[in-house]
A and B are shown apart, each in its own frame.
Chain A
Amino acid sequence: MTQTQFRTALLTPDAPVPAGVIGPTGQSSAKRFNVYRNNVTTGLCRALADNFPAIRSLVGSEFFQAMAVEFVRACPPNSPLMAGYGLALPDFLAQFPPTQSLGYLPDVARLELAIRQSYHAGDHDPKAGARLGTLDEARLMQTRLRLAPSFRLLISDWPVLDIWNAALSGGPKPRHQAQSVIVARPAFDPMPHLLPTGAEAFLQALIDMATIGQAIAAHPDTDVLAVLTLLATTGSISEVMS
């Protein structure tokens, strides 16, 4: 018996018990082997359900469980850190025939991944952004922002934040519109916020360490005050470099 044979049989539902795996009287026992098969499948499905509560709510727990079993067999985790399990789920949802037509699901899954990554990211001083308000305009233009390790940006063509809210707290029925979202973690609980329309490229320039002046010059139509206020008041900034 090799671990390759054992592993293959665990993830293949109808495969026979590997040769040499026996019960107390020396005979092969499917029921005993199935304890491991069941532990592996249910354990990984539970980890997936923990990481994607909004997807589970949107598709229903019964469908989610059936989909999770397929996902676990196709994409077992490649890391032992279960908090990160499911990086491949957005692409899986886009290709899985029963969910293919639900075009918004992959971005909702990406938002859930961003929130989970934010939860475990490194700490920063959530008040660091307050310094922005003390700078005069000339100084502000020369300033660069370092965003927090827990900050995430998700650009979407779907009303991803409204769908996420509706899934988890029964908010209003989402209207079709593109929504890009930032995730920020002032203390321990990550919060998603709507990014002002059309501000994605400006924010990406700041992430890439452009000065505020350079980012404005490159993306002059942005509502700069709204973006900077959002970043400063949500605990998104870890350092104001001026």
Chain B
Amino acid sequence: MFDAAPNHLPPAPGVGYKPQHFQALISDAAPVRWLEIHAENYMGHGGRPLAQLRHLAERFPISVHGVALSIGGEADLDTDHLTRLKTLCDWLNPASFSEHLAWSTHDGAFLNDLLPLPYTVQTLTRVVDHIDQVQTVLGRKMLLENPSTYVAFAETSYDEVDFLTEIARRSGCGLLLDVNNVHVSCINNARDPVDYLNRFPMNAVGEIHLGGHDEDRDENGASLLIDAHGSPVTVSVWALYRQTLSLSGPRPTLIEWDNDVPDWPLLRAEAERAAGIIEAMA
């Protein structure tokens, strides 16, 4: 069957790779010990993206993070896309592969966003089937990431933690715990993030994500947090991260900063802060 270990990333900080940081990572990476790439940016046939990735993979364990497989889609998975993922994973042999509890493609249109799902028996069955297909085609275990959500569904019948726990149990996949998403979704859905983390199946967690979010309000004045990945990790998310590690022990931890990408020293400072918390907990 699949590798029993959650993955081969070190329990240390990593960053989402941006080409503008290539030279800094080659000369001045510490404390960053691994990198994450978005799979869809490395599905060309050659050129600079693949050459840089080949070079980086000689120095760093790489986590391949898919953002477009549409695992929660009502339709069948896009087998062309799954084949592209397999091609990438076969040549790169990454330390981890992860995707999202979300959908992004429907009726042949790719919407370029991680769209929300109702937590029902039908969704559960479909997601488990899709994960089974992905793990079989790739020949490796995957991690599934908890989403950031702005709406809920009247038809939902599972709590999100119970839903993810059941997906992991049935499919054998691991989980990617995005602590910023926990904060964003819990505030947006009037739930308690501390309780969410206390109930989360930490033994299945192979990787943690940290990132920034924006703050807004809905038309009724209720808090509406936006998962924007364009700013530093907030104080409340660092506090939830400490709580997570107290429950999980040290875990590979990614700083995600995808928009308004900062200069290297600022990103490295975020990674240093995560490293300090991991070391204090170890």
Q: Report A-chain residues with C-beta under 8 Å of the C-beta of B115.
A: 3, 6, 10, 36
* Contact in complex: A40, B111 (CB < 8 Å): yes
Please name the residue on chain B nearest to A189 by beta carbon: B48
Which of B74-122 touch A at CB < 8 Å? 74, 78, 81, 103-113, 115-116, 118
* A39 interfacial by beta-carbon distance below 8 Å: yes
**B137 CB–A CB distance under 8 Å:** no
Judge if B30 is at the interface, Cβ distance under 8 Å: no
- With A23-B218, A32-B150, A35-B224 in contact, is A121–B47 under 8 Å at CB? yes
B190: CB under 8 A from chain A?
yes
Q: Assuming A7-B111, A22-B153, is B104 touching A80 (CB within 8 A)? A: yes
A163 on the B face (CB < 8 A): no
A185–B44 Cα distance when bound, in Å, is: 15
Please determine whether B47 and A123 come into contact, CB atoms closer than 8 angstroms: yes
- Residue B73 is within 8 A (CB to CB) of chain A in the complex: yes
**With A3-B74, A23-B218, A24-B190 in contact, is A121–B45 under 8 Å at CB?**
yes
Q: Is B51 an interface residue (CB 8 A)?
A: yes
Distance, CA A120 to CA B48, complexed state (A)? 8
Chain B residues within 8 Å of A109, by CB: none
Kindly state the separation between the CA atoms of A188 and B109 in the bound complex, as whole angstroms.
31
**Contact call A1/B118, Cβ cutoff below 8 A:** yes
Q: Does A20 contact B (CB under 8 A)?
A: yes
Residue in B46, B81, B151 whose beta carbon sits within 8 Å of that of A23 in the complex:
B151
In the complex, what residues of B have CB within 8 A of residue A225's CB?
Answer: none
Determine if A169 is an interface residue (Cβ-Cβ < 8 Å): no
Complex: chain B residue closest to A117, CB-CB: B44
For the complex, is B43 an interface residue (Cβ under 8 Å from A)?
yes
**Does the CB pair B109–A150 fall under 8 Å?**
no
A29–B216 Cα gap in the complex (Å)?
Answer: 14
Do A3 and B103 touch (CB < 8 A)?
Answer: yes
- List which A11-64 residues lie within 8 A (CB) of chain B: 11, 19-27, 29-33, 35-36, 39-40, 43-44, 47
In the complex, are the beta carbons of A120 and B46 less than 8 A apart?
yes
List residues of B (145-178) whose CB comes within 8 Å of A's CBs: 150-155
Task: Flag the segment in A71-79, A97-105, A172-180, A228-236 that touches B.
Answer: A71-79
* A134 on the B face (CB < 8 A): no
Q: Is the CB of B45 within 8 A of A149?
A: yes
Q: Which residues of B does A touch, CB under 8 Å?
A: 40-41, 43-49, 51, 68-70, 73-74, 78, 81, 103-113, 115-116, 118, 150-155, 188-190, 216, 218-220, 222, 224, 226
Residues of A whose CB lies within 8 Å of any CB of B are 1-4, 6-7, 10-11, 19-27, 29-33, 35-36, 39-40, 43-44, 47, 76-83, 119-123, 149-150, 185, 188-189
- Return 9 A-B CB contacts under 8 Å, by A number: A3-B74, A7-B109, A32-B218, A36-B151, A40-B112, A80-B68, A119-B47, A122-B46, A188-B48
